[in-house]
Copies of this chain bind each other. A is one copy, B any other.
Amino acid sequence: MTVRVGVIGGGQLARMMIAPAVELGLDLRVLAEDEGMSAQLAATAVGDYRDLETVRAFVRDVDVVTFDHEHVPQEVLRALVADGVQVHPGPDALQFAQDKLVMRARLAELGIPQPDWAPVRDAEELQRFIDDHGGGAVVKTPRGGYDGKGVRVVHAGADAANWFDALTGDDALLAEELVSFRRELAQQVARRPGGQMVAYPVVETVQRDGVCAEVIAPAPGTGARLVEVAEQIGRAIAEGVGVTGMLAVELFETDDERILVNELAMRPHNSGHWSQDGAVTGQFEQHLRAVADLPLGGTEPRAPWTVMVNILGGPEDGALEDRFAQAMEEHPDAKVHTYGKTPRPGRKVGHVNVVGDDLDDAVYTARATVTQFL
């Protein structure tokens, strides 16, 4: 019988699961937050993913549940599991992507290299952390941050005063050392419920204002040892936290040639969009294979280089389609992926992949294509 995969959340990640679901013969069903979202075509329900009864009604007609985002509350996830629903990734894994303090503690247990960190409950604790780490730190709200939100570079305990004021009960912020890094990398791994894993080549990611702007796959100028270490870290985390589906591990490559874990995401991730056109198996297909417990696909690049550039913003007058046609006209070899969103400044409305033999050419073409949108 056709496997019915339910996706909670109707954003672009759910949207980009539609294409491989059709080819794989999976019946994809989406619980969207609103009408008219990116994954509208597959939306079979609209409602609040924080409401257990809404989610329960949605999952009644699916065989396995997965996610467009990591914001479904633990109590909802655990109730589904108690109901006997297949949830991938499950709540035990997903907690490490939902709470950065829980994640840091688990990575420490697993012996995974990461920046120095500590929970801080007030400005004094933060000041002590700053004093111990060269006069600066990164402070993060453990929950709910994304795309640079909930992240602040500070040089004094008072710099996070308003966040401390908002803490309740035993809550704490996460303080991390300011890592001096050469560049950022990302390692993706897919894992099936039974434990089968495959790893993608490590990629270089370029962030602007805390948002992923570009990805180069594989990461240029990367020695075999670093590639191996990144893959080992990805596999160790996937296994150690018991993830099912895609795991993305954001990494710092430090000036002194260490690899430190920055963030985790347990879903298809912006750093993996290149694989849609640049790898034998795209990350959206791979995520579906993993959560539907199908054998995983090959992860080899299809060509020496793939460059992904996000389309951030765009014309606000509804002329996105015209820009799109213009971009296609100028760059027939660029693969444009649209999210069906109305542009706002800085909003991710799509991305472009360019696959080729020459890195400079691919970077040029991908950037030039995106420029047509702005």
In the complex, whether A280 has a CB less than 8 A from a CB of chain B is yes
Give the contact stretch, choosing among A154-162, A177-185, A288-296.
A288-296
Contact pattern, A 335-359, Cβ under 8 Å of B = 1, otherwise 0: 1111110000000001000010000
In the complex, whether A163 has a CB less than 8 A from a CB of chain B is no
In the complex, whether A300 has a CB less than 8 A from a CB of chain B is yes
In the complex, whether A50 has a CB less than 8 A from a CB of chain B is no
Measured CB to CB, the closest approach of chain B to A28, in angstroms, equals: 8
In the complex, whether A321 has a CB less than 8 A from a CB of chain B is yes
Give the contact stretch, choosing among A15-23, A95-103, A109-117.
A15-23
Bound together, the chains give a CA A41 to CA B321 distance in angstroms of 24
Q: With a CB–CB cut-off of 8 A, which chain B residues contact A321?
A: 1-3, 25
A297 partner, pick from B280, B296, B328, beta carbons under 8 A:
B328
Copies of this chain present? 2
Q: With a CB–CB cut-off of 8 A, which chain B residues contact A295?
A: 325, 328-329, 332
Bound together, the chains give a CA A181 to CA B27 distance in angstroms of 44
Q: With a CB–CB cut-off of 8 A, which chain B residues contact A318?
A: 1
A18 partner, pick from B22, B25, B328, beta carbons under 8 A:
B22
Q: A24's closest neighbor in chain B, by CB?
A: B338
Q: With a CB–CB cut-off of 8 A, which chain B residues contact A20?
A: 19
Task: Let me know if B18 and A333 touch, CB within 8 A.
Answer: no
Task: Let me know if A332 and B296 touch, CB within 8 A.
Answer: yes
Question: DSSP class of A's interface residues: helix, strand, loop or mixed?
Answer: mixed
Interface size of A by CB at 8 A reads 42
In the complex, whether A302 has a CB less than 8 A from a CB of chain B is yes
Contact pattern, A 299-312, Cβ under 8 Å of B = 1, otherwise 0: 01011000000000
Task: Let me know if A41 and B19 touch, CB within 8 A.
Answer: no
Bound together, the chains give a CA A113 to CA B210 distance in angstroms of 61
Check A25/B289 contact, CB under 8 A, given A18-B19, A297-B328, A333-B298.
no
Q: With a CB–CB cut-off of 8 A, which chain B residues contact A350?
A: 25
Q: With a CB–CB cut-off of 8 A, which chain B residues contact A15?
A: 22
In the complex, whether A139 has a CB less than 8 A from a CB of chain B is no
Measured CB to CB, the closest approach of chain B to A105, in angstroms, equals: 35
In the complex, whether A42 has a CB less than 8 A from a CB of chain B is yes
Measured CB to CB, the closest approach of chain B to A369, in angstroms, equals: 12
Q: With a CB–CB cut-off of 8 A, which chain B residues contact A2?
A: 321, 340
Cross-chain pairs A/B with CB under 8 angstroms, 15 sampled: A1-B318, A2-B321, A16-B22, A16-B23, A18-B19, A18-B41, A19-B19, A19-B20, A23-B338, A24-B336, A25-B324, A280-B333, A294-B324, A296-B332, A300-B333
In the A-B complex, list the 10 residue pairs whose CB atoms are closest, starting with the nearest: A19-B19, A25-B338, A295-B329, A298-B333, A295-B328, A298-B332, A23-B337, A18-B22, A297-B332, A280-B333
Residues of chain A at the chain B interface (Cβ within 8 Å): 1-3, 15-16, 18-20, 22-25, 41-42, 198, 280-281, 289, 294-298, 300, 302-303, 318, 321, 324-325, 328-329, 332-333, 335-340, 350, 355
**A16-B22, A294-B324 known, 19 other contacts, Cβ within 8 Å:** A2-B321, A3-B321, A18-B18, A18-B41, A23-B336, A24-B338, A25-B339, A25-B350, A41-B41, A280-B332, A280-B333, A280-B335, A280-B355, A294-B328, A295-B325, A295-B329, A295-B332, A297-B328, A297-B332
